[in-house]
Amino acid sequence: MPVLTTMRSAAFGLALCVGTAVPLQPGLAQTESEQAGPATDFDIALSNIILILHHEIGHALIDQFALPVIGQEEDAVDAFATLMVLETYDDPAPILLDSAAMWFAFDRIFKADGGEHAYYGEHDLDIQRAYRILCIAHGYDPDSYAEEARKRAIPDERLETCEYDAELALDSWDVLLEDALRDSDKPQGMVSVELKPSDDFDDLRIGLEDSGVLADIAEWIDTHYNWPNPVMLEAAECGEVNAFYDPQDVKITMCYEMVDELLVVAETLDR
C-alpha cells in the first residue's frame, strides 16, 4: 500500500485564511459538481492527488520554516492537508470524500490480500487515515460530512470530539504559520513545477498537465508562503508507488506510479 513517506518529513501550513480573501484553488471538485454525473476514475485520482500534495507541502513547511511538531509528524501533515483543502477550495467535500474513500479502499484491499499491519510504522494505518479525514472534515463542517460519518458508523460522541480536533489543529497551524505567510496576491517566483517525461506513464503526465493541478497548487503556495528556498513540485516516474518530500532538494514528488495506483483503486469504488 502506498505510504506517502517523506524522506524526512515536514509540515503543514494552515492559511490563517479563515474568512479572509484567500483565492480558492480551482480543482476537480468543482469539475465534479458541475458535471452532476458520477465522478470519473481520473476525478477521484485528482482528488487524492490534491490531498497528497498538501500532505507533502505540510512536510515542506515544517522543514523549511523549522516548525515545531508535537507528536507524529505524519498525523500532523494529514490534518494539515485536510484543513488546507477545507480552507482553500470552494467545494472541498468531493476532494475529501474521494480521499477518505480511497484510504478505506486501501485498507480493504490490504486486508483482502492478507496484509499484516505494521503497527510500528511512522504512518497511522490506512483506515485510521480515512477516519481522520472524515473526523476533521466533520469537525470543521458537520453538515457536509454527516451522511458519510453515519455511513462509516462514527459515533456521535466521537464526532463531538472531532470538532475539538479540527479547531485545535486549525488554531495550531495558524500560530505556526504566522511567520511563514506572505501578504501578497502574486506569486513570489519561488515555486516551480515540472512534469517529467515518462515512456510508461505519458498518458498520466498529459492528464496531470491538462488538469493544471500541480500548477494551481504551486501558484497558491508560491503566493501565500514566504519560502526561504526555491521549491520544486514535480511529477515523475519513481520506480515505486509513492509521493514524498525531499528536504535536500526542497522538492515534492508525486510519482506517476502513485497516480496509476489511485486510478486502479478508483475503479473499485462505489459512486
Distance CA 204, CA 23 (A): 27
Of 4 and 254, nearer to Zn ion (C-beta) is 4
The span from the CA of 73 to the CA of 65, in Å, is 14
- Smallest distance from Zn ion to CB 9, Å: 5
Question: Residue type for 50, please?
Answer: I
Q: How far apart are CA 140 and CA 137, in angstroms?
A: 5
- Counting contacts by CB under 5 A, is residue 48 touching Zn ion? no
Does residue 6 interact with Zn ion by CB under 5 A? yes
Q: Does 253 bind Zn ion (CB under 5 A)?
A: no
Binding mask 55-74 for Zn ion (x = CB under 5 A): -------------------x
Find, among 47, 50, 55, 73, the residue nearest to 265 by Cα: 47
**Residue 242 is a binding residue for Zn ion (CB under 5 A):** no
Q: How far apart are CA 97 and CA 213, in angstroms?
A: 18
Nearer to Zn ion, 11 or 193 (CB): 11
State the CB neighbour count (10 A cutoff) for residue 181. 16
Q: Does 82 bind Zn ion (CB under 5 A)?
A: no
Smallest distance, Å, CB 254 to Zn ion? 12
The residue (of 148 and 257) whose beta carbon lies closer to Zn ion is 257
Nearest residue to Zn ion on Cβ basis: 6
**Residue with Cβ nearer Zn ion (159 or 172):** 172
Least distance between Zn ion and beta carbon 74 (Å): 5
With a CB cutoff of 8 Å and minimum separation 6, the contacts of 21 are none
Crossing angle of the two packed helices 73-88 and 156-177, in degrees rounded to 10: 90
Question: Which one of the spans 5-13, 39-47, 125-133, 205-213 is the region binding Zn ion (CB under 5 A)?
Answer: 5-13
Contact residues: Zn ion, CB under 5 A = 4, 6, 74
